[in-house]
Chains A and B, each alone.
Chain A
Amino acid sequence: MKYKADKVFEDLKRISKKSIPVRTLYEKNRVRLSLRSVNGLEKSKREITDKNLHRPGLALAGYVDLFTYHRVQVMGNTEIHYLQSLPPKQREAAFRRLFDFPLPCIIITAGNVLEENLVAIATEHGVPIFSTKHETTKAVYFLGDFLDDQFAPKTVIHGAFVDVYGIGVLFVGRSGIGKSEIALDLVERGHRLVADDIVMVIRKGEGILMGSGSSLVKHFMEVRGLGLIDIQSIFGIRAIRFQKRIEVVVVLEEWDEGAEYTRTGLDSDEVTILDVPIPLVRLPIFPGKNVTVISEVIALNYLLKHYGYDSAKAFAERLKSIIEKKAEAEEKSDPMIDWFEHDFE
């Protein structure tokens, strides 16, 4: 069956989480953010449903009309100092007001300490409180990044993903066309395998696609006729990497007489994965064609473009200027003589 790249990328199943349990947030950030569980509710199954954070200053002050209570609540110096500025009774009432809403959890930053009677209110409502010694800005940065990742759209692509000269090149094509063999060849030439067969793709921020292997398969690869091989054990640590930004997609196709392939590279193709446009190269293959070397050139050419040099455009410019010069010149020159003029060897 013919491999239709556009359709394959259009049909990709998006996987995105609707919610994560609070315990996951705690477990994944415990070390990184030195999170400490204040009221022993770190095993809570309360759900976080929003990737954004919220600072409940206004809610403490009494304005709860637009209170985004479903977000993780971050209480920094401002909130804590505000609470301390209130007389004890009002302080308790202000804090208690937050729990009219089903909060997922509260994070106290900058080494602040919440009074015991206030902690008790949270415990009574089953809301976990964590504290960190890090400043609010840093905590918000880390937590935001973590939640962004957790809620980021993901998908799985059938292909081989290799870091070629630092450029993430994703090979796709029908099964059996030789994606794994090309990846193996690239590894042999000193490039690094990220994943073969199953490529997990996640969108980071806006416009960045990261690819990685699945945790089970890691850097195993199936080569038809050989079976399963372990790239890391055979080629060593230099031959692998865990994740890489996807920068170019290469579609491997059987050479098709009828199809038109770009001859100049001026009209560049694109494919959209998880709403991110990625340059696409259609590569017709046939026996005897060295796809590995071409892949290296694809990566290097992308690198050149990234640094502002477009080979195809540069050639077109040169041609244009020579034609213009010719038109201006009065005497026609002999191209062969001009070419050899400066070569004395």
Chain B
Amino acid sequence: MIERTVTIKNKAGLHTRPAAGLVKLASRFRSEFFIRKDGIEINGKSIIGVMTLAAERGSQLTLVFDGEDEEEAARTVCAYFDEGFGEP
């Protein structure tokens, strides 16, 4: 199991488009993927779950990966967060 903390960098926050992108990205991996914020843990492969977080710019999320390809999943997903979902 891998845990990583990431920060939302883009201005609009984790809105619908990046949420959909994140879910698609995570679904490519076999590992389970959870996101924690404010004590709530949701399934990172569920679009409704990700959008429930309503994560704004600057908020911190804890990503949890668990499974055979967890390292690759963590690297890919964290990179998506680090580039601000490709948004300003």
Contact = CB atoms under 8 A, between A and B. Distances in A.
Given A1-B32, A216-B54, A198 B39 contact: no
A217 B52 contact: yes
A156 B47 contact: no
Contacts of A13: 36, 39-41
Given A1-B32, A216-B52, A217-B52, A15 B46 contact: no
B51 interface: yes
Nearest to A16: B39
Nearest to B41: A13
B79 interface: no
B51 A217 contact: yes
B59 to A, nearest CB: 14
Contacts of A156: 40-42
Contacts of B49: 158, 197-198
Interface residues of B, number: 17
B12 interface: no
Given A1-B67, A216-B52, A217-B51, A222 B40 contact: no
A146 interface: no
Contacts of B45: 175
Interface string B26-63: 00001010001001111101111101101000000000
Nearest to B48: A197
A9 to B, nearest CB: 13
A47 interface: no
Nearest to B53: A216
A97 to B, nearest CB: 38
A175 B43 contact: yes
Most chain A beta-carbon neighbours within 10 Å: one of B30, B41, B48, B54: B48
Contact of A158 (B36, B46, B54): B46
A222 B27 CA distance: 15
Contacts of B67: 1
B39 A15 contact: yes
Given A15-B39, A156-B41, A158-B42, A1 B30 contact: yes
A214 interface: yes
Contact of A220 (B30, B39, B48, B54): B48
Contacts of B52: 197-198, 214, 216-217
B35 to A, nearest CB: 11
B47 to A, nearest CB: 5
Contact of B43 (A15, A158, A217, A220): A158
A221 interface: yes
Most chain B beta-carbon neighbours within 10 Å: one of A13, A198, A216: A198
A228 B16 CA distance: 11
B55 to A, nearest CB: 11
A217 B54 CA distance: 10
Interface string A198-221: 100000000000000010110011
B18 to A, nearest CB: 15
Contacts of A163: none
A199 to B, nearest CB: 11
Contacts of B54: 216
Nearest to A224: B47
17 contacts: A1-B32, A13-B39, A15-B40, A156-B40, A158-B43, A158-B49, A175-B43, A175-B46, A197-B46, A197-B48, A198-B42, A198-B52, A216-B52, A217-B52, A220-B48, A222-B46, A228-B47
Which 9 pairs from chain A and chain B are nearest by CB? A197-B48, A15-B39, A214-B52, A158-B43, A198-B52, A13-B41, A222-B47, A222-B48, A156-B40
Given A197-B43, A198-B49, 19 more contacts: A1-B30, A1-B67, A13-B40, A15-B39, A156-B41, A158-B42, A175-B46, A196-B48, A197-B46, A197-B52, A198-B42, A198-B52, A214-B52, A216-B51, A216-B52, A217-B52, A220-B48, A222-B46, A222-B47
